Chains A and B, each alone.
Chain A
Amino acid sequence: MAKNNKPALGIIGAGKLGVTLTRLALKAGYTVYIAGSGVASKIELSTKVITPGAVAVTAKEAARRADIVILALPLGKYRTLPVDALHGKLVIDAMNYWWEIDGEDEALKNPASSTSELVQAFLPGSRVVKALSHMGYHHLHDEARPKDTPGRKAIAIAGNRVADTVTVAELVNDLGFDPVIIGNLASGKKLEPGNPAFGANVDAATLKTYL
């Protein structure tokens, strides 16, 4: 545990989504370890200027030092994740298959399961929860609001263990959104591209009608 008794966050992926989530988490008082695809020095300057307060590290280090790790890298790169360092961690999968970045990938395009279950299978020692994946990064940035703000936007959460989804719900709430727990990890499929909830930037009541 880090300051404010809040769990320490590791964010793997220092692109648009990773940076947006880092900004929201810092604002909410979290300790954040952020990692890009390579050595920490590559993102040191951008971290210092865009997300001052966050600590630039490698993906392995982010996984090791954090209590909760958010995956914000292109889904096509999930096999590069540090499996051992993520062992025992709560891992939030915020990734989507995006062919224009990931390339045509049959396994990701038409998986037998949800893409989060593919990630869970790759990280057998971690507890994977899907969240923060359906809302576009600029909406995440613009729409974060304090709890009980009328019209506050919602983020869906899918995971296999209730305790984990509740932990993620607290984080989502701290970041500025109403959490909506939708079911197990398989149900995360409803949040993937091509489904009504993908891209959803709506309040909790409306989000539920999409699911």
Chain B
Amino acid sequence: MTKKTTQPKILFGLDTFGDIPTDKDGKLMTHAAAIRQVVDEAVLADKLGIDVISVGEHHREDFSISSPETVLAGIATKTKNIKLASGVTVLSSDDPVRVFERFATVDALSSGRAQIILGRGSFTESFPLFGYDLKDYEILFEEKVALMAEVLKEKPVTWEGTTRAALNDADIYPKTESGRIHTSIGVGGSPQSVVRAAKYGFPLMLAVIGGSPDRFVPYVDLYQHAAKEFGTSSDEIGIHSPGFIADTDEQARRIAWPAHKTNFDRIGRSRGWPPITREHFDYEIDHGSLYIGSPETVAKKMAKTIKTLGVMRFDLVYGGGPMPAAAREHMIELYATKVIPRISELLAEKPDGKK
């Protein structure tokens, strides 16, 4: 567990699902090239001092990463300081024992930089793929979080449930050098998920992918109340939201819009919602949860959210949709060299605007 300091540092991360970028000629990359692109971007982020790279787990054509910890292992040996997180690991359709083994391995390769974010994910294509029934959605997550909490203690585990074979005094390897893999729970707005995270003492990652971030203020309160009730710690709350940064606001919207629309409409087709309008896109940038614009615009919006929710970590989901690889790389540079320093300045300002 982290120690409380008087001036806690806010962590800034990047998060990707391994969307397929376009190359110099505007052609979609292969899945393999998209994965190598993420590794290159993580190396860049590490050089520039970004705190965390999170990679999500999806099992769809439009996202290249289905096995986050394998990608993280690739990043691990090429980087020095950046934390290596999943975002999220779909625990319901995975096995907590194997999740631990894989992340403990990444932790070894990276000398202690592995992190897990457990979640249910908003996509559920992993269920039929791995032979799980969506009707068991609740119980699968509930039981596996409970088992995961035990496994993470790195002591022999005795456990019995309905969703996998029982464990009797089972020791699980490799052990980590620190004795603990940093593990959070990602939640999307279900109050019971927030309570569950507090119950097991897991840090909370709020996935805010649309609408005003302010509406999550009560969830932060709930997490703190619940942690107090369960006697667990509640000082680590982070947020994950999508964004894109370019040199100017106009340029950022121009590059992000077609990629975002392609991404959103493809998902919408399978879920039965109509194509996204430009008006909605602009609304989300101006009032909702899209952090898109110049470094100044994005820094101001992120700083506002950090202040409003009191979060200690912000993972910006980058590269949504088929976006030029070069634009993604430029975004990472702007994030590290302009946005993050500017947010620190903004957060240091007193409410009256004076330093």
Whether the pair B273, A50 counts as a contact (CB closer than 8 A) is no
Confirm or deny: A76 has a beta carbon within 8 angstroms of a beta carbon on chain B. Answer: yes
Give B120-155 interface residues, CB cut-off 8 Å to A: 122-124, 127-128, 133-135, 137-138
| Chain A-chain B contacts (Cβ-Cβ < 8 Å), number | 87
In the assembled complex, the CB of A99 is this many whole angstroms from the nearest CB of chain B, namely 8
Q: Which residues on the A side are within 8 Å of B123 (C-beta)? A: 100
Contact assessment for B272 and A46 in the assembled complex, using a CB-CB cutoff below 8 Å:
no
Within 8 A of B (CB), among A127-152: 136-139, 141-142
Please name all residues of chain B whose beta carbon is closer than 8 Å to the beta carbon of A139 when the two chains form the complex: 211
Contact A101 B273 (CB under 8 A): no
Task: Render B281-299 as a binary contact track against A, CB cut-off 8 A, 1 for contact.
Answer: 0000001100000000000
B229 and A16 form a contact (CB under 8 A): no
Q: Please, which residues of chain B bring their CB within 8 A of the CB of A201?
A: 280
Are A193 and B272 touching (Cβ within 8 A)? yes
Cβ 8 A contact of A14, one of B122, B192, B212: B192
Q: How far is the CA of A48 from the CA of B224 in the complex (A)?
A: 13
| B221 interfacial by beta-carbon distance below 8 Å | yes
- Alpha-carbon separation in the docked complex, A16 to B288 (Å): 17
Interface residues of B (CB under 8 A from A): 122-124, 127-128, 133-135, 137-138, 188-192, 194-195, 210-212, 215, 218-219, 221-222, 225-226, 229, 268, 271-274, 280, 287-288
Cβ B134 vs Cβ A102 within 8 A: yes
A138 to B206, CA, bound (A): 14
Residues of A within 8 A of B (CB): 14-16, 19, 36-37, 42-43, 45-46, 48-50, 76, 98, 100-104, 136-139, 141-142, 192-196, 198-201
Please tell me if the beta carbons of B226 and A141 are within 8 angstroms of each other in the complex.
no
Q: Is the CB of A16 within 8 A of B135?
A: no
Q: Which residues from chain A contact B280 at a C-beta distance below 8 Å?
A: 201
- B222's closest neighbor in chain A, by CB? A49
The answer to whether B133 and A141 touch across the interface, beta carbons within 8 angstroms, is no
Q: List residues of chain B with CB within 8 A of the CB of A200.
A: 274
Residues of B within 8 A of A15 (CB): 190-192
- In addition to A19-B189, A141-B211, 20 A-B residue pairs with Cβ atoms within 8 Å of each other are A14-B191, A15-B190, A15-B191, A16-B188, A16-B189, A19-B191, A43-B191, A43-B192, A46-B195, A49-B226, A50-B191, A76-B135, A100-B123, A104-B128, A104-B134, A136-B210, A138-B288, A141-B215, A198-B274, A199-B273
